Structure 1
Amino acid sequence: MADPLSAEANLLGALALVLTDQMAAAGAAEAGESGAAAAALTSLHQFLDRPTLDTLRRVLGLTHSGAVRLVNRLEAEGLVTRAPGADGRSRAVTLTPAGRQAATRVAAARAAVLERALRGLPPDSRATLHELLGPVLAAIVQGKDGGAWICRLCDLPACGRDQGRCPTANAAAARFGVDQTGAS
């Protein structure tokens, strides 16, 4: 029999579920598509510079065919374009101006959901929460084996990635030996 679930773990699970549901709904409403579309737009806007379809697929945790269908839909809506990739055999995916606008709306919708969730906390409690979440996220990265990237919906300036303050980027750097300013 499994160990009983702690009250903290149970609350964290409930919080994760409700925030995931709310962010997915808000992002999908702004992207006009699925949560995967919102994550694709955000990733392309925040940190992916002309990725190949395979790179985008890995970031989103999709199969190749799922990524192709998603990019086809985004392209049909005028949100992305495909161009020759770096090696001549691959295709690079880039945001159009309309795609950048949609990505900005997705990020704003996500931020609104998260700020509403924190509005009941006074500033000192928010600072404590910040200190507590870093090690939790770092532990998740240390144990993560594949799947979608944690930062696919992140606001990279908010996490301090470029100053070396992002717990997931730092954990990925420690685990995989990657540049901490890259996405994880």
Structure 2
Amino acid sequence: MPKDINQNICNERAFASVYKKYADDLHNFLYYKYGEQFNPRDKTQDAFMKLWDNCKDVTLSKAKSFLFTVANNMVLNDIKHQKVVLKHQQANHKNYTNETPEFVLETNQFLEKYQKALSKLTEDQRVAFLLNKVEGKKHKEIAEFLGVTQKVIEYRIYSAFDVLKKELEGFKIK
């Protein structure tokens, strides 16, 4: 290590000597204090990266203190984060809805009717209709995808609407 203890450690040699001197001690400190679950190797590397980022502000005499403080704070932040996650996981989540049972029943019944109505469509109508209304594709895109003209796709979609209107009460085109 250089003789001048007030020298900053932006010099690669000085940084390398600090790394060689403190890396194992810092890892062992974190490992023995917090265990393997908080990744002491990663925290050690992160602390040295922070030291490199702040090399102009940290002198050689303060490097050890800086490294151990930064690494310790990183682990403490991880512990706080895990406590928040655990608290959120343990919180009672809402297991109810604001819908009435009648609404839920009507929705399920409509979905059953809708599935039956879709099954009455020809495969060409169903594919064109679902690509347009479910996936949001334009008529031109569907035509290119299926290898037919745009007029054919328009006919399939609108004939599918006619079938659905007959099968479902109150079905409206959007």
Taking structure 1 as the reference length, the TM-score comes to: 0.29
Bigger-Rg structure (1/2): 2
Structure with larger RCO (C-alpha < 8 A, sep 6+): 1
